[in-house]
Structure 1
Amino acid sequence: MTNLAPVRRALISVSDKTGLTDLGRALSDMGIEILSTGGSAAALRAAGLTVTDVAEVTGFPEMMDGRVKTLHPMVHGGLLALRDNAMHLAAMEEHGIAPIDLLVVNLYPFEETVAKGADYDTCIENIDIGGPAMIRAAAKNHAFVTTVVDVEDYAAVLAELSANNGHTTLAFRQKLAQIAYARTGAYDAAVSTWMAAAIGEETPRRRVFAGTFAQALRYGENAHQKAAFYTDGSDRPGVALARQLQGKELSYNNINDTDAAFELVSEFLPSDSAACAIIKHANPCGVATGTTLAEAYQKAFDCDRTSAFGGIVALNSTLDKATAQRIAEIFTEVVIAPGVDDDARDVFAAKKNLRLLLTPGLANTAAPGLAYRQVSGGMLVQDRDNGHLGMDDLKVVTKKAPTDAQMRDLLFAWKVAKHVKSNAIVYVKDGATVGVGAGQMSRVDSAMIAAKKAERMADALGLPQPLTIGSAVASDAFFPFADGLMEAAAAGASCVIQPGGSMRDDEVIAAADAAGLAMVFTGMRHFRH
């Protein structure tokens, strides 16, 4: 396998015309012959460049609305021929096939077409055939052919040719070949994923996942683990689409926790109230609504001030000066919000290490989507938990019914419990969490831990009693026995929201009645492992 390979003839066929004429002019100035197709050829000619149309090479015009133009031995022979193989060279000479040393192709905008909500037939027409075929051919023959699929690589190609007197190195071609195969793989993944959804295939025989490199990370969850961040190309607002305005580079754990915080705060529409979620290790340690963001932050902070130190703060509306000043009083890793005013930015400017992220909006937590989890030897795939409930969806199962105020707190607690690791118990009072129990093997323990945290915060705040007294409590799954419910009652809860569905529901309801609790069933659980 040779190291340096000359570039004397290039084929350019691109959907994205960004940088096209500059590339074409630079190649032409190097004495490289340019072949091209359709719109690419027209754009190059309009820039005053000499271009040979692929139709002149193949002897066939573009046909069938452009579906057939490069699928021809004159093209693929030029890409695939081994320059050091006598039989290949003889075949090229016999059939008049000239080598193609550089392929520049970017594909029909299938992903963008789907993202715009185009109809089925339009999406089908935006599936590129000739482009992937040429890319795969050129990349396979990277011993001799340089393959370019991304606009951002144009400058590197020109620099490589300039540095090597019109040649490219093997290492460079190998790198571009890997990028090329990743691109066609991601493209096919997008097509197959879209088609599965379009035809209602919920469990396709093969499911393909693809991502685009966003940034290298110093390490993963721990220092001995290598890591990187990849985006999936979706337009869902969140950490992937956020713009970092200040602070250190995000870490693996920062990204994971910030995603958890933003998904949670997105449950609360700013048109209803300001909302704040504080996350530590992917679990909420405080969530609240208020008439102002500053009030919401303070209520969330007062749920568990200890855990909030070094946490992630997510806000559902524009960060203002008053809220920024309160957040800045303690060490905070990341603040993420759909907006930030200049005064708030000035406050954070003194906190050089605080990472401030601006998102293009809130996530639609009711939107469909898929969630993935790797296991040994495979991948678990499920629908994103987009379950939402309103008051009309709740079934009162006790003699006592919740008041309207209690019902609001119950629904608030239910939204939060959806984002707490199971087993989850969440106490809420007046639109704010006052105790959160997460990730315990026993639901009883979760109820006890949340209550104990509330007791400690009451002491710290100088309150006469824990705020769990008179609170609403949510359980992410049913109470299998009455003991967990009684633990919540002992903490002072006055009303309960839970899925129901246990074999002992009657016992649990009877215990709630005996304790004077109001309880509603949702018929839906929110396990989060």
Structure 2
Amino acid sequence: MAHDQVRVSRALLSVSDKTGLVDFARALAARGIDLVSTGGTHKALKEAGLPVTEVADLTGFPEMMDGRVKTLHPAVHGGLLAVRDNPEHQAALAAHGIGAIDLLVVNLYPFEATIGAGRAYDDCIENIDVGGPAMIRAAAKNHRDVAVVTDVSDYATVLDALEAGNGALTTALRRSLAQKAYARTAAYDAAIANWLAGQLDAEEAAPAPFRAFGGSLGQPLRYGENPHQTAAFYRAPGLVRRGVATARQLQGKELSFNNFNDTDAAYECVAEFDPARAAAVAIIKHANPCGVAEGASLREAYERALACDPTSAFGGIVALNRTLDAEAAARIVEIFTEVIIAPDATEEAVAIVAAKKNLRLLLAGGLPDPRAAGETVRTLSGGLLVQGRDSAVVDDMALKVVTQRQPTDSEFADMRFAYRVAKHVKSNAIVYAKDGATVGIGAGQMSRVDSSRIAAWKAAENAQRLGLPETLAKGAAVASDAFFPFADGLLAAAEAGATAVIQPGGSMRDAEVIAAADAAGLAMVFTGVRHFRH
């Protein structure tokens, strides 16, 4: 037999997820492969009538401590780690009566599912697998001689390879399985470490000297931001935050990399608006809002959001804070839309969207909590940037009026609305809002005054398109995600017709900016909270 091939004579199976177990084990036994197993796996195979040896018979020790100790023994790890062409290793096996193990089949205790279900602390601890990862790492290290299977989806691949190799597995397959095994244990350990980090108070938790992040493949993607880039979507283990990663896709084409990114941005934005207060819709293009509005119904909210920038809305993402109904669905499908995401949808709405076969409809089952803690991660060349997510909500902020003129109640409402949106606009961000709807948005400019001018231009252009005599910015509130470093950005807003301003404050020139606001007759409030979004 070529060196590339390693014959499988003995397999150890110890699995939590028993999907396909009996059929797989039966196929192994039919090839004359000896089966060894543990606990519940042994019981399942025995009940299926398969010849199987219990691990306790190898080790000479029964399972103990509620199953915490069963495979941590030289009779197991020696069989996994022994190098087959090393005479000393072979002599050690013979001297201690240890049989080699050629195939290890292990999937781990369901720790991620346990924390995802919000189980009690002690339940989560008991679902941390110890022996499984130890065996997986041992077999993966010795993949020159041992194959390790950690995913039930690989059962068929292994059986096909055994058939093709007349009972042997190739080096290429063993190496591929080993890589997958280490990735699995890394993601598993990351889930444990990050869950434990969440159990610590802020002083204990930040910053940790080591951090780990992992996930399981949700789906491979056709490409990334551009066709020459590879991409895939991974689900973070134990994630309970509602959103695109947890949503059901009812119909439409497969989501692309950009669809995932933009849909996440849309749903996080619309989640800022309490569905108990009003229906809300956010329309997103290239991860920036191009229109956000509240209304008495979703249809009204959509039409008001669309009116902010109907040109940019073409081919955009539509996010809703309430169950999608037929009236709203019929209006949304009138223009080309890439994705609709909502907490739920009526049967009538689903049927209406179904007429557009490529339109993706995602139902998330709920809204993400904008106040919830969490982290964002961004890769750098050679490193990671990790931060707490921006969970500041304007409704919780102590707004400080800094101008001579006090805002009216309606101005206060529009300022809060605009600030909710500004949190989700790329910096530098300027948002004009009036009567619970955006009327002009300036995003991602290097100069804040340019963002202000773009937002004002958008508001004026839309008024012209609608045949209105005055810009939509007239009488609007304007929000800035960060302070105005100079008065010019604020003056641009005043020139556009804004009457109220909301911004964090904190500039060295705050006094100059306040004086300019007073001179222009503006009402202005400081939040003390910045919303940079890079």
TM-score by length of 1: 0.95
Contact 1:434 1:467 in 2 (8 A): yes
Write the distance in 2 (CA, Å) between the matches of 1:114 and 1:342: 32
Match of 1:343 in 2: 348
Aligned with 2:35: secondary structure?
A: strand
**Equivalence map 1:266-281=2 (5 Å):** 266-281=271-286
1:55 corresponds to which letter in structure 2? A
Write the distance in 2 (CA, Å) between the matches of 1:392 and 1:313: 28
Write the distance in 1 (CA, Å) between the matches of 2:376 and 2:444: 20
Match of 1:212 in 2: 216
Offset at 1:119? 4.6
Offset at 1:351? 2.3
Match of 2:225 in 1: 221
1:40 corresponds to which letter in structure 2? T
* Deviations 1:327-361, CA, capped at 9 Å, x for gaps: 22222222212222233333333323222222222
Offset at 1:118? 4.1
Match of 2:55 in 1: 54
Match of 2:94 in 1: 93
Match of 1:153 in 2: 154
Contact 1:12 1:37 in 2 (8 A): yes
Match of 2:459 in 1: 454
Match of 2:82 in 1: 81
Structure 1 portions without partners, runs of 5+: none
1:504 corresponds to which letter in structure 2? R
* 1:374 equivalent in alignment to 2:366: no
**Equivalence map 1:299-338=2 (5 Å):** 299-338=304-343
Counterpart pick for 2:500 among 495, 498, 509: 495
Aligned with 1:480: secondary structure?
A: coil
Write the distance in 2 (CA, Å) between the matches of 1:140 and 1:155: 23
Q: How many residues matched? A: 529
1:224 corresponds to which letter in structure 2? H
Offset at 1:430? 0.7
Offset at 1:314? 1.1
* Deviations 1:46-86, CA, capped at 9 Å, x for gaps: 33333211111111222333222211111111111222333
Offset at 1:438? 0.6
Contact 1:2 1:143 in 2 (8 A): no
| Between 387-396 and 143-152, the greater mean CA deviation after superposition | 387-396
Write the distance in 2 (CA, Å) between the matches of 1:520 and 1:186: 45
1:125 corresponds to which letter in structure 2? E
Counterpart pick for 2:357 among 334, 337, 352: 352
Aligned with 2:125: secondary structure?
A: helix
* Deviations 1:241-282, CA, capped at 9 Å, x for gaps: 222222222221111111111111111122211111111111
Offset at 1:391? 6.8
Match of 1:239 in 2: 244
Offset at 1:512? 1.7
* 1:438 equivalent in alignment to 2:429: no
Offset at 1:500? 1.1
Write the distance in 2 (CA, Å) between the matches of 1:303 and 1:183: 46
**Equivalence map 1:379-418=2 (5 Å):** 379-390=384-395, 393-418=398-423
**Equivalence map 1:44-193=2 (5 Å):** 44-193=45-194
Contact 1:391 1:407 in 2 (8 A): no
Contact 1:310 1:332 in 2 (8 A): yes
Write the distance in 1 (CA, Å) between the matches of 2:29 and 2:498: 77
Write the distance in 2 (CA, Å) between the matches of 1:188 and 1:416: 37
Aligned-pair identity in percent equals 66
Write the distance in 1 (CA, Å) between the matches of 2:326 and 2:69: 60
* 1:293 equivalent in alignment to 2:293: no
Structure 2 portions without partners, runs of 5+: none
Write the distance in 1 (CA, Å) between the matches of 2:309 and 2:162: 60
* 1:361 equivalent in alignment to 2:361: no
Offset at 1:494? 1.2
Match of 1:31 in 2: 32
Write the distance in 2 (CA, Å) between the matches of 1:86 and 1:494: 86
Write the distance in 2 (CA, Å) between the matches of 1:224 and 1:24: 42
Aligned with 1:374: secondary structure?
A: strand
Are residues 478 and 123 of structure 1, via their aligned partners in 2, closer, same or farther at CA, if it must alter by over 3 Å? same
Are residues 243 and 114 of structure 1, via their aligned partners in 2, closer, same or farther at CA, if it must alter by over 3 Å? closer
Contact 1:34 1:50 in 2 (8 A): yes
Aligned with 2:153: secondary structure?
A: helix
Contact 2:486 2:513 in 1 (8 A): yes
Offset at 1:398? 1.8
Offset at 1:105? 1.0
Write the distance in 2 (CA, Å) between the matches of 1:62 and 1:248: 50
Contact 1:476 1:499 in 2 (8 A): yes
Aligned with 1:278: secondary structure?
A: strand
Counterpart pick for 1:201 among 183, 201, 205: 205
| Between 99-108 and 154-163, the greater mean CA deviation after superposition | 154-163
Offset at 1:120? 4.3
Match of 1:41 in 2: 42
| Between 183-192 and 105-114, the greater mean CA deviation after superposition | 105-114
Contact 2:418 2:431 in 1 (8 A): yes
Match of 1:21 in 2: 22
Write the distance in 2 (CA, Å) between the matches of 1:109 and 1:223: 36
Offset at 1:488? 0.8
Contact 1:498 1:521 in 2 (8 A): yes
Match of 1:510 in 2: 515
| Between 290-299 and 392-401, the greater mean CA deviation after superposition | 392-401
Write the distance in 2 (CA, Å) between the matches of 1:295 and 1:15: 50
1:97 corresponds to which letter in structure 2? I
Aligned with 2:191: secondary structure?
A: helix
Offset at 1:477? 0.7
Match of 1:250 in 2: 255
Contact 2:397 2:527 in 1 (8 A): no
Offset at 1:163? 3.8
Write the distance in 2 (CA, Å) between the matches of 1:324 and 1:351: 11
Contact 1:372 1:382 in 2 (8 A): yes
Match of 2:479 in 1: 474
Contact 2:415 2:501 in 1 (8 A): yes
Moved beyond 6 Å, runs of 4+: none
